[in-house]
């Protein structure tokens, strides 16, 4: 059995050019038996690169999570469309993921991050979206953090809350966390927070 690697583009059309850009591709690709598919029509939301961070204080054993209204959750009739999340945003042109999460942490939660620990790179919805996520855990001092933040000119109304790690992890079991990057980040922290705290404090 071969490992397919080839894709042929037979057509490309931008069908939506608003804030969310959508492209329709006509493609063929190799199959596992060595043959090729027929021409396939696939629509992709061209989201680009996103980055997210879970701020973690290794001294106080606390994390910072934000809460904000999410129109997608509301549109899906989710009971509580104000979601508890990591800090995240779109990586702008000329900006690295690391620079972006530090900027967003200041804007959305008043956090000044120092060290960043990579957690994962992944695609959020690869069947229909190009969005690639760079996910980090960031060192922060949670003293005095919390409150409502965000850029008024972008209509942001974001509440930042400091949580003991044990309480944040408990939300995984109660269903309060329903955002994929936050699920991944907290599940990662559950298995790494002790060794990460030791690593960061040893290098402090």
| Residues carrying an active site annotation | 154
Hey, is 204 helix, strand or coil? coil
CA angle in degrees (0–180, nearest 5) for 11-131-179: 140
Cα-Cα-Cα-Cα dihedral sign, residues 117, 122, 125, 128: positive
Rounded to whole angstroms, the Cα distance separating 203 from 178 reads 34
CB contact at 8 A, 137 and 196: yes
Joined together, the tokens standing for residue 125 give 């919805």
Assess contact for 162 and 146: CB atoms under 8 A.
Answer: yes
Can you give the C-alpha Rg of the chain in angstroms? 20
Q: How far apart are alpha carbons 4 and 51 in whole angstroms? A: 29
């Amino acid at each position: 059995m071969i490992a397919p690697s080839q894709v042929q583009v037979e057509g490309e059309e931008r069908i939506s050019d608003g804030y969310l850009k959508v492209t329709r591709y006509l493609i063929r690709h190799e199959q596992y038996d060595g043959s090729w598919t027929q021409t396939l029509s696939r629509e992709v939301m061209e989201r680009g690169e996103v980055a997210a961070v879970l701020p973690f204080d290794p001294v106080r054993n606390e994390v910072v999570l934000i809460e904000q209204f999410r129109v997608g959750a509301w549109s899906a009739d989710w009971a509580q469309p104000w979601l508890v999340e990591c800090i995240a945003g779109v990586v702008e042109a000329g900006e690295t993921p690391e620079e972006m999460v530090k900027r967003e942490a200041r804007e959305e939660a008043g956090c000044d991050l120092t060290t960043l620990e990579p957690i994962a790179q992944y695609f959020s919805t690869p069947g229909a979206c190009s969005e690639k996520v760079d996910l980090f855990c960031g060192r922060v001092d949670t003293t005095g953090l919390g409150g409502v933040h965000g850029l008024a000119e972008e209509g942001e109304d974001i509440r930042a809350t400091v949580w003991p790690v044990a309480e944040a992890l408990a939300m995984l079991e109660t269903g309060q966390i329903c955002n994929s990057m936050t699920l991944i980040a907290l599940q990662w922290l559950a298995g790494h927070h002790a060794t990460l705290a030791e690593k960061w404090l040893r290098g402090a």
